[in-house]
């Protein structure tokens, strides 16, 4: 099992830069704050990735260009280092009670090998984080959380566990994760395992041997809409897996992909990004995540009544997708207005879609203005650009 052995923690680096003091001509070193690096950092650097600080990690944002990498995933196969994501184990006889209490979805619907998308509701009507819940085996779950929220989530979980007493373990620094995404993912990976990858359907997982490594978790929950798998393994075994994937993937021109393309891929699918489209002040009902917020008997999740009331009374704003009619790129925090110049919302995510070749975005829009096909306007600098609300996803050519 992936948490019952000795493991090597992720290493740390201190980035520094220097300047010359003009008065004394002495070299002065200024250090940035401590950053983590994943076990794959040396591969990113060898490939010439542009590395940037992200969620406390030194991460590859792009290699050859966002559009090229984006299209590679949509049409072929690409590999993302997502080892910065967090993993929390919940075990023991209180495991189900705990996970059911802190997440909005109905954990009772899970069985071993199944996965749920869910969120942690807070006490103030918002979301602590969105996450994946893996039902590993009886009395054992793995929660996969966002990198930027690991410390916040862990503190929240510890606090909520005081009255329940489940066994919880923050294994985030001990596990590496790769996401191999694209329509050619099975073709690229199948020779590395005896597991029939075609049997791993969306939101399921298996644990087995991969690239000669035992107990690798292989799941299918990709956030790109292009198909593919996620691999979880120990840090000290991760380099071997990376090298094996890129060796067998040569014939398919497999490429490493940066976080910038991961963002444009998820936005084309209309998937929420924590910190942009959802946060500690937005209700999952407002965010269109009612499908992961289950008001069923036995699911007494935190602050359930608040969200139930929002649903019953209908939310005053909703997260909606829109595409540009006029040429322009919507950006986070741009104002959304109606024909009479009344402010009706704000952009939460936006980009130029590499596949659709037009500006797309999401934003919270006031009730009464959210019907599909409604024309809205995005204020881009001093311009008022036309857009229209559409049904998600933006890109419908996925599998």
Q: Does domain 316-399 have CATH number 2.40.30.110?
A: yes
Looking at residue 34, its pLDDT comes to 78
Q: Classify domain 1-314 by CATH number.
A: 3.30.1360.120
Looking at residue 364, its pLDDT comes to 98
Residue 143 pairs in a beta bridge with 88, 133
Contacts of 193 (CB under 8 A, 6+ apart): 208, 209, 210, 211, 218
| Nearest alpha carbon to residue 377 among 344, 337, 340, 350 | 337
Both ends of the chain: CA-CA distance in Å?
Answer: 32
In whole angstroms, give the CA distance from residue 124 to residue 271. 23
Residue 2 pLDDT class (50, 70, 90 cuts): low
Looking at residue 30, its pLDDT comes to 41
Looking at residue 398, its pLDDT comes to 53
- Give pLDDT tens digits for 65-81: 999 999 999 999 999 99
Does 4 score more than 70 pLDDT? Answer: no
Residue 315 pLDDT class (50, 70, 90 cuts): very high
Residue 8 DSSP one-character state: P
Does 20 score more than 90 pLDDT? Answer: no
Nearest-5° angle of CA 95, CA 177, CA 201? 70
Looking at residue 237, its pLDDT comes to 96
The proportion of the chain whose per-residue pLDDT surpasses 70, expressed as a percent, equals 91
Of 1-5, 59-63, 365-369, minimum mean pLDDT range: 1-5
- Give pLDDT tens digits for 282-310: 999 999 999 999 999 999 999 999 999 99
| Nearest alpha carbon to residue 123 among 289, 304, 303, 311 | 303
Residue 13 pLDDT class (50, 70, 90 cuts): very low
Nearest-5° angle of CA 152, CA 157, CA 160? 125
DSSP element (H, E) containing 189: helix 185-189
Looking at residue 12, its pLDDT comes to 42
What's the token pair of residue 154? 């862990």
Could you state, in order of their start, the residue ranges of all structural domains in the chain? 1-314, 316-399
Residue pair 97/166 in contact (Cβ under 8 Å)? The answer is yes
What's the token pair of residue 263? 């963002």
Entry pTM: 0.92
| C-alpha pair distances (Å), 289 with each of 114, 299, 307, 370 | 19, 16, 11, 16
Higher pLDDT, 9 or 228: 228
The secondary structure of 30-86 as a DSSP string is EE---EE--TTHHHHHHTT-EEEEETTEEEEEESS-HHHHHHHHHHS-EEEE-TTSE
Does 192 score more than 80 pLDDT? Answer: yes
- Give pLDDT tens digits for 321-346: 999 999 999 999 999 999 999 999 99
Q: Token match 């591969």: residue?
A: 43
Helix boundaries (H) for 223-359: 235-248, 259-268, 304-313
In whole angstroms, give the CA distance from residue 34 to residue 232. 25
Looking at residue 33, its pLDDT comes to 59
| Nearest alpha carbon to residue 111 among 205, 252, 233 | 205
Looking at residue 381, its pLDDT comes to 87
Q: Count Cβ neighbours within 10 Å for each residue of 168-187 and write b for 16 or more, e otherwise.
A: bebbbbbbbbbbbbbbbbbb
What's the token pair of residue 203? 């939101």
In whole angstroms, give the CA distance from residue 203 to residue 292. 14
Looking at residue 40, its pLDDT comes to 98
Residue 382 pLDDT class (50, 70, 90 cuts): confident
The proportion of the chain whose per-residue pLDDT surpasses 90, expressed as a percent, equals 90
Residue pair 89/98 in contact (Cβ under 8 Å)? The answer is no
In whole angstroms, give the CA distance from residue 231 to residue 237. 12
Looking at residue 323, its pLDDT comes to 98
């Amino acid at each position: 099992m992936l948490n019952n052995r000795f493991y090597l923690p992720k290493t740390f680096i201190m980035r520094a830069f220097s300047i010359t003091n003009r008065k004394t001509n002495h070299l002065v070193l200024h250090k940035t704050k401590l950053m983590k690096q994943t076990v794959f950092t040396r591969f990113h650097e060898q490939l010439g990735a542009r590395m940037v600080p992200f969620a406390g990690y030194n991460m590859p944002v792009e290699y050859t260009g966002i559009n090229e990498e984006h299209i590679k995933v949509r049409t072929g196969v690409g590999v993302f280092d997502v080892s910065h994501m967090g993993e929390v184990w919940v075990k023991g006889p209180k495991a189900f009670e705990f996970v059911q209490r802190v997440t909005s979805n109905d954990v009772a619907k899970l069985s071993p090998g199944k996965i749920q998308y869910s969120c942690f509701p807070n006490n103030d009507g918002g979301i602590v984080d969105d996450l994946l819940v893996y039902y590993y085996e009886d009395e054992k779950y793995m929660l996969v959380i966002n990198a930027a929220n690991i410390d916040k989530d862990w503190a929240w979980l510890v606090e909520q566990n005081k009255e329940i007493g489940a066994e919880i373990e923050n294994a985030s620094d001990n596990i590496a994760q790769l996401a191999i995404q694209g329509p050619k993912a099975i073709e690229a990976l199948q020779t590395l395992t005896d597991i029939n990858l075609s049997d791993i359907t969306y939101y399921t997982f298996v644990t087995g041997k991969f690239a000669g490594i035992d107990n690798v978790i292989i799941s299918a929950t990709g956030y790109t809409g292009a198909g593919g798998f996620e691999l979880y393994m120990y840090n000290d075994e991760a380099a071997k897996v990376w090298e094996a994937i890129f060796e067998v993937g040569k014939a398919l021109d497999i490429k490493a992909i940066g976080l910038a393309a991961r963002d444009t891929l998820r936005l084309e699918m209309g998937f929420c990004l924590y910190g942009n489209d959802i946060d500690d002040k937005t209700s999952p009902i407002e965010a269109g995540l009612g499908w992961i917020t289950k008001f069923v008997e036995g699911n007494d999740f935190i602050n359930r009544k608040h969200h139930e009331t929002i649903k019953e009374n209908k939310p005053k704003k909703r997260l909606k997708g829109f595409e540009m009619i006029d040429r322009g790129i919507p950006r986070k925090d741009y104002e959304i207005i109606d024909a009479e110049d009344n402010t009706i919302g704000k952009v939460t995510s936006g980009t130029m879609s590499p596949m659709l070749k037009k500006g797309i975005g999401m934003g919270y829009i006031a009730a009464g203005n959210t019907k599909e096909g409604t024309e809205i306007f995005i204020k881009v600098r001093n311009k008022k650009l036309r857009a229209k609300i559409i049904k998600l996803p933006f890109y419908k050519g996925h599998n």
